[in-house]
């Protein structure tokens, strides 16, 4: 629709064209539409990514706990849980509306899944929309969802070498959150070295250290999300 084919050259019964088009241009297109819709509604969209069990849902719970209680209607969550409604239930139990995206066996969310899920959510009065992606440190990185910020959770037990081993995910991050900081005494996780490596992969990314258990770093994360 937007990108035009460039050169044409005929050779017998063969036609050669050079589309020079991103393989994901269809997804990018839809993501741009979602983004426009969120912008029109004044909603800030957050795409939360990270390995399975890196603490994404716990981070959302902690963020909810530090949000003014009377204003929880300003938050909404789309849950990209694989096959269960557990994560969505956890969010609902905290008093925040959550819509589950059943991804079946998908390894990432796509803009079309988000567009579909958004039909089932009332966005009236919502200011921040969180999308918890499928637990995976590779696949979700290149599928734009129309959100404004990409947050990548890397947990202390996973090890400080994760960013350099999964640089493509770090490249798309606006914020890298080192989660489960309360476990630092039990693991050889060098926060400074990890910060440095993240900086060398993507110097635009903010690095924050949080614990959903103690609440450490959560208000700083809220500030970063709203900036």
Partner 1 sequence: MHEFSIVSSLLDLVEADVRKHHARSATRVVVRIGDMSGVVAELLAEAFHVCKRGTLAEQAELVVEKQEVLISCHCGYKGPIKDRRFICPVCGVADIEVTAGEEMILQQLEMEVGE
Ligand X SMILES: Nc1nc2c(ncn2[C@@H]2O[C@H](COP(=O)(O)OP(=O)(O)OP(=O)(O)O)[C@@H](O)[C@H]2O)c(=O)[nH]1
> 């050779």: which residue's tokens?
11
- Bridge partners, 154 (sequence order): 178
Tokens of 16: 């050669």
User: Between residue 9 and residue 68, which ones bind Mg ion under the rule CB under 5 A?
Assistant: 56-57
Query: Interface with Mg ion includes 87 (CB under 5 A)?
Result: yes
State yes or no: residue 108 binds ligand X (CB under 6 A). no
Secondary element (H or E) of residue 80: none
Task: Give the span between the Cα atoms of 28 and 145, in whole angstroms.
Answer: 8
- Which one of residues 57, 103, 110, 202 is an interface residue with ligand X (CB under 6 A)? 57
> If contact means CB under 5 to 8 A according to the sort of partner, which of ligand X, Mg ion, partner 1, none does residue 14 touch?
partner 1
- Which of these segments, 6-14, 64-72, 116-124, 178-186, binds ligand X (CB under 6 A)? 178-186
Q: Provide the token pair at 67.
A: 């949000």
> Strands 75-79, 128-132: parallel, antiparallel or unpaired by DSSP?
parallel
Element (H, E) at 155: strand 149-155
Cβ nearer to partner 1, comparing 76 with 160 = 160
Q: If phi over 0 gives left and psi between -120 and 50 gives alpha, with beta otherwise, what is residue 68?
A: beta
Q: Which residue stretch of 65-73, 82-90, 120-128, 169-177 sits at the interface with Mg ion (rule: CB under 5 A)? A: 82-90
What is the pattern of x (binds ligand X, CB under 6 A) and - over residues 9-38?
------------------------------
Instruction: Tell me the CB-side half-sphere exposure of residue 9, using CA atoms within 13 A.
Output: 5
Q: Which does 201 bind (CB under 5 to 8 A by kind): Mg ion, partner 1, ligand X, none?
A: partner 1
Give the residues lining the site for ligand X (CB under 6 A): 50, 52-58, 87, 135, 179-180, 182-183, 211-213
Give the residues lining the site for Mg ion (CB under 5 A): 56-57, 87
């Amino acid at each position: 629709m937007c990108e035009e084919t460039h050169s044409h050259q005929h050779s017998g019964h063969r036609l050669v064209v050079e589309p020079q088009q991103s393989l994901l241009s269809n997804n990018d297109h839809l993501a741009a539409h979602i983004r426009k819709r969120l912008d029109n509604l004044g909603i800030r969209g957050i795409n939360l990514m990270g390995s399975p069990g890196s603490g994404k849902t716990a981070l959302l719970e902690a963020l909810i706990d530090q949000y003014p209680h009377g204003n929880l209607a300003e938050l909404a969550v789309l849950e990209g849980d694989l096959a269960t409604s557990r994560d969505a239930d956890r969010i609902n139990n905290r008093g925040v509306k959550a819509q589950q995206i059943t991804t079946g066996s998908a390894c990432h969310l796509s803009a079309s899944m988000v567009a579909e899920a958004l039909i089932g959510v009332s966005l009236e009065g919502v200011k921040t929309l969180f999308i918890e992606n499928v637990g995976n440190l590779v696949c979700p990185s290149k599928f734009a969802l129309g959100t404004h910020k990409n947050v990548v959770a890397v947990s202390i037990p996973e090890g400080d070498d994760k960013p350099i081993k999964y640089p493509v995910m770090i490249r798309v991050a606006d914020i890298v959150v080192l989660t489960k900081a309360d476990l630092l005494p039990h693991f050889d996780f060098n926060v400074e070295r990890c910060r440095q490596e993240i900086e060398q992969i993507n110097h635009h990314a903010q690095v924050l250290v949080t614990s959903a258990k103690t609440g450490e770093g959560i208000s700083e994360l809220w500030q970063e999300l709203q900036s």
